[in-house]
Amino acid sequence: MSQPTKAPQVVLVGFPNCGKSTIFNALTGGTAKVGNWSGVTVDVKHGCLDLAKQTTSLIDLPGITTLTHLSEEQSLDSHVVHKFLRENHADVIINVLDVSHLQTQLYLTLQLCEMGVPMVVAVNMMDQLDKSGSQLQLECLSELLGCPVVPLVGSRRKGLAGLKKNIMEMLEKPLAASPIQYPPLVEQAIETLMQEGHCQRWQAIQCLCGDFCVLSELTGNQKQLLSRWQSSCGAQLGQEVDLLIIDTMYTWINKQMPILLQGTPKSSAWTDRLDALALHRFLGIPIFIMVMYGLFVFAISLVGGLQDSVGLLTEWLWVDGTTVFLHGLDAPEWLVHILAEGIGRGINTTLTFLPVLLGIYLYLAFLEGSGYMPRAAFVMDRLMRFLGLPGKAFVPLIIGFGCNVPAVMATRTLASPKDRLMTSMMVPFMSCSARLAIFSVFAGAFFPEGGQNVIFCLYLLGIGVAIFTGWLLRRILTREAESPLLMTFPAYHWPRPEVMLRQVYWRVLGFVKRAGRIIIPLSLILSLLTLPAGKSAQPVLHAVSKSVTVLLNPMGIEEDNWPATVGLVSGIIAKEVVIGTLNTLYTHDDKSNQLGQGFGQEIKEYAAWEAKGTQVRHAFTHALGWSSGTSTERAEIESAMGRFALYFHNDASVFSYLLFVLLYFPCLSTLAVIVREVSKPWAIISVFWATGLAYVFAIACYQLLTISAHVGLSMAWLTGCVASVYMGYRLLLALWQREVLGLRTYG
Amino acid sequence: MLVKSIPSKIKPGFKAKITGVRSAVEASKGLRQRLLSMGLTPGTIFEVVRLAPLGDPVQIKVRGFLLGLRRFELEPLQLEVL
């Protein structure tokens, strides 16, 4: 991260969930910025911290449990922290401790002490200690560690003044040496390594502990030296050296704890009671499902209800508004089309996601702040490991049913890049709410009875394909050791609204900024395809679609149904567009264009635009519950249903078409976040994989449903389908094994 | 009683003392280190609090706080059942 000013850097380090972010927000106020740290996707927040004499830069690092960075495979978080601490020369470290987990957290404190960077220890959540009637000897701890110790109640902003004062003092004086003395032989090993490797004491210690980062920088000679010391320590002391080092620290902690802490801090009765329910042998999974169901009720029904209105509003402003405005300026038709349908539509698509994203993120921020997430990971772990994924991966997949975009973004909570990749590739097959809208229109038109069963069937097929994809990917990405679960259970908290809101704000802003950059250019390309070629000629897309529809024959789409193909292409922007496109094309097909040509057109257009403005207002009042559903809306859907029935010749072809819509091409926004969270090559593979599977599955489905009509032909198609899936798998495997296309760098 | 393969015997109320942690060569290096750094060092006593719904990750109480880990992650530990 490039720092524009040379302000001293103050860094917050501590366990996950120890309250760092709350302290960060309290100290920085509203000045925080999220920066990407050296190309990886873990966000490092930094903001200004004003002290009496000077302004410093405060940095909030992800939570870690140990300074030792164990392997490349391990969580990105610890990698970021480690890199930061070694390269950025923190001027002061604030080590935040959660008082209810003091023993293990002191281990991290001792490791930090060895770094020799000035440090302030902030003991957070002191109110929990008061509740259980125990006492912590802060002065004693301060003396032992050789650095100031400050009591805090971060959530109530207690103790911040003391913390600031101590940071200021620590900027001027260095830290005393670590209190830990290792057995003589280990000390000797550390000394030698320091001299030979020209490194600091803490680096030598981390080296002996097997730290991956430090080890990878050693020369051959140093490595030999290290292994010689490791084996001689092992031989003489009867224990391996890393165990000796850690054991020395814990022995020290054990010795000091009775002096430091009088009485045992109990985890709050509430946490115990809630855990008895949330982690219950039989109730655990039902409770998890209910919590996730709550996500849909809240995010999709309540907040997400605004999606249509926001979509309409932004369309009115950016697409229709641009058209009217440019026509008023007498701009050429092609320019109007590109600006309105390309750039305008891109902005419209990006912004349409805001309500659902807002709803989902708000709910997730609540769950994360409350401490339920680790419990969910614990409960779902065994089930997800059938797929080779950790329990945490269940949450992004579930969110996928609401919207694939936040689902892919939610994969960043997963520790290993492999898990993130697998989950991101599975998410697009979870049927999102936009696809549900398409299904319900078709179900209404073709399956008036039992429509819900058809939709449910599609959902199940989507889940099946996701599992199938996960299973294949797991075979391809030869899995090394799984990242260990080994998790702690933070106490339940009532989340702080300002922390939640800030988190939601960052995430939504991140989406708009980064996804918009990909969505708008892609939407521009699509607009070129639909550019009217001349007064009477059709756009390129329509002409191409008419000839390409033949390809959809095996899934029951006849040539006269070419609008179905156009619908699929325009559905790439966002799946819900499919219905709108089909509706328009079926209405205008074989009819002369009703728009008047020439002079009168602009006035008519403006009037239509104004009328749409009223419609937007209605949509909002409707979404907010201020008026009941409009009958025109229903009538519109009903007339659409009638028209659809003319073009699809049998139910099997409808079902296959819906299956195709479910599986094909992750929408532009999802694609944009896959590019961002995983990598560009994998996003492209996701497109080909999803579209290929959609084609194959839709054909297989149609042929199976109509097998009685033509047994031989169907059997041939089915064999072809199985063969092509297998070939797709072999191709992906070959690409992976040859290490081409940069497939191996992701995450 | 010293046991070789503990994971199958584990149920709520199971209490054991850690007598050793298998060396880095035998156990996965990362796992061994993480277990040690979370305070599962030789001499420590832990108790199984509960099992997850499908019986796999187990929740243990060690040094006064709760840890969740998978059954196989307990394998590097040499235990003496109490």
For residue A103, which residues of chain B lie inside 8 Å, CB to CB? 39, 63-65
User: Both tokens of residue A107?
Assistant: 């281990």
Of A135, A117, A102, whose CA–CA distance to A12 is shortest?
Answer: A117
Instruction: Give the closest-approach CA distance of A379 to chain B in angstroms.
Output: 6
**What amino acid occupies position A501?**
L
For residue A243, which residues of chain B lie inside 8 Å, CB to CB? 21, 36, 41-42
pLDDT at B46: 92
Starting at the earlier edge strand, list the strands of the sheet with A43-50.
Answer: A33-36, A43-50, A55-60, A9-14, A92-98, A119-124, A149-151
Residue A35's pLDDT band, with cuts at 50, 70 and 90, is very low
DSSP state of A18: S
pLDDT tens per residue, range A576-604: 778 777 877 776 654 334 433 444 556 66
Residue A312's pLDDT band, with cuts at 50, 70 and 90, is confident
| Contact (CB<8Å) A243/B21 | yes
Please say if the pLDDT value at position A2 is more than 50.
no
Closest partner residue to B24 (CB to CB) among A210, A246, A382 is A210
pLDDT at A179: 79
CA distance A531 to A211: 58
User: Both tokens of residue A171?
Assistant: 């900027």
For residue B55, which residues of chain A lie inside 8 Å, CB to CB? 382
CA closest to B59 among chain A residues: A378
Of the ranges A505-514, A515-524, A527-536, A714-723, the best mean pLDDT one: A714-723
pLDDT at A39: 31
For residue B57, which residues of chain A lie inside 8 Å, CB to CB? 378, 381-382, 391, 485
**What amino acid occupies position A415?**
A
Q: With contact defined as beta carbons under 8 Å apart, do A624 and A537 qualify?
A: no
Phi, psi of A612 (to 5 degrees): -65, -35
DSSP string, A690-740: HHHHHHHHHHHHHHHHTTTT-HHHHHHHHHHHHHHHHHHHHHHHHHHHTT-
Handedness of CA A172, A177, A180, A185 (dihedral sign): positive
| Contact (CB<8Å) A279/B59 | yes
Please say if the pLDDT value at position A243 is more than 90.
no
pLDDT at A630: 47
Give the least confident one: A40-49, A216-225, A415-424, A648-657.
A40-49
pLDDT tens per residue, range A552-577: 888 888 888 888 888 888 888 888 77
| Contact (CB<8Å) B38/A486 | yes
Instruction: Give the closest-approach CA distance of A14 to chain B in angstroms.
Output: 14
Residue A230 exposure: Cα atoms within 13 Å on the Cβ side: 19
Q: Answer whether B19 touches A (CB < 8 Å).
A: no
**What amino acid occupies position A158?**
K
Rg (CA), chain A: 30
ipTM: 0.91
Give the least confident one: A95-99, A227-231, A235-239, A266-270.
A266-270
Per-residue 3-state assignment (H helix, E strand, C coil) for A39-74: CCCCEEEEEEEECCCCEEEEEECCCCCCCCCCCCCC
For residue A209, which residues of chain B lie inside 8 Å, CB to CB? 33
- For residue A83, what are the contacts with CB-CB under 8 A and spacing of at least 6? A37, A38, A213
Residue with tokens 């040690």: B36
Residue with tokens 């092992």: A234
C-alpha torsion A261→A266→A267→A272, nearest 10: 160
Q: Could you tell me whether strands A9-14 and A261-262 are parallel, antiparallel, or unpaired per DSSP bridges?
A: unpaired
Chain B 50-69, residues with CB within 8 Å of chain A CB atoms: 50-57, 59, 63-69
| Contact (CB<8Å) A250/B57 | no
Please say if the pLDDT value at position A36 is more than 50.
no
pLDDT tens per residue, range B15-56: 999 988 877 666 666 788 888 888 898 889 999 999 998 888
Question: CA dist A512 to A93, A344, A568, A680, B60, Å?
Answer: 33, 14, 25, 18, 43
CA distance B39 to A105: 10
Q: Taking residues A503-512, what's their average pLDDT?
A: 80
For residue B13, which residues of chain A lie inside 8 Å, CB to CB? none
Q: Taking residues A116-131, what's their average pLDDT?
A: 82
Per-residue 3-state assignment (H helix, E strand, C coil) for A166-205: HHHHHCCCCCCCCCCCCCHHHHHHHHHHHHHHCCCHHHHH
pLDDT at A213: 65
What's the mean pLDDT when you consider all of chain A? 80
For residue A70, which residues of chain B lie inside 8 Å, CB to CB? 29-30, 33-34
| Contact (CB<8Å) B56/A209 | no
CA distance A204 to A367: 40
Q: With contact defined as beta carbons under 8 Å apart, do A44 and A32 qualify?
A: no
CA closest to B70 among chain A residues: A485
Residue B58's pLDDT band, with cuts at 50, 70 and 90, is very high
Please say if the pLDDT value at position A217 is more than 80.
no
Closest partner residue to B29 (CB to CB) among A65, A70, A378 is A70
For residue A282, which residues of chain B lie inside 8 Å, CB to CB? 53
**What are B15's strand-pairing partners?**
B47
For residue B33, which residues of chain A lie inside 8 Å, CB to CB? 66, 68, 70, 209-210, 242
Is B15 in a helix, a strand, or coil?
Answer: strand
| Contact (CB<8Å) B68/A391 | no
pLDDT at A283: 92
User: Both tokens of residue A293?
Assistant: 């169901």
CA distance A74 to A415: 7
Q: With contact defined as beta carbons under 8 Å apart, do A95 and A109 qualify?
A: yes
Task: Report the share of chain A in percent with pLDDT over 70.
Answer: 85
CA distance A126 to A100: 9
Q: Could you tell me whether strands A9-14 and A55-60 are parallel, antiparallel, or unpaired per DSSP bridges?
A: parallel
pLDDT at A264: 64
DSSP state of A630: P
Most A CBs within 10 Å: which of B18, B34, B40, B71, as the mutation test of the A interface? Answer: B34
- Kind and range of the H or E element at A8? none
For residue A486, which residues of chain B lie inside 8 Å, CB to CB? 31, 34-35, 38, 67-69, 73
Most B CBs within 10 Å: which of A208, A246, A285, as the mutation test of the B interface? Answer: A246
Instruction: Give the closest-approach CA distance of A66 to chain B in angstroms.
Output: 7
Residue A539's pLDDT band, with cuts at 50, 70 and 90, is confident
Rg (CA), chain B: 12
For residue B36, which residues of chain A lie inside 8 Å, CB to CB? 242-243, 246-247
Q: With contact defined as beta carbons under 8 Å apart, do A359 and A303 qualify?
A: yes
**Structural domains of chain A in order of their starting residue, each with its CATH number:** 9-170 (3.40.50.300), 184-262 (1.10.287.1770), 289-477+495-504 (no CATH)
Instruction: Give the closest-approach CA distance of B25 to chain A in angstroms.
Output: 11
**Structural domains of chain B in order of their starting residue, each with its CATH number:** 2-81 (2.30.30.90)
CA closest to B52 among chain A residues: A379
CA distance B24 to B68: 22
CA closest to A285 among chain B residues: B53
| Contact (CB<8Å) B68/A378 | yes
Q: How many residue pairs bridge chain A and chain B with CB atoms within 8 Å of each other? A: 123
Instruction: Give the closest-approach CA distance of A397 to chain B in angstroms.
Output: 20
pLDDT tens per residue, range A159-189: 888 888 888 888 877 666 777 888 888 888 8
Q: With contact defined as beta carbons under 8 Å apart, do A249 and A110 qualify?
A: yes
Of A605, A577, A617, whose CA–CA distance to A313 is shortest?
Answer: A617
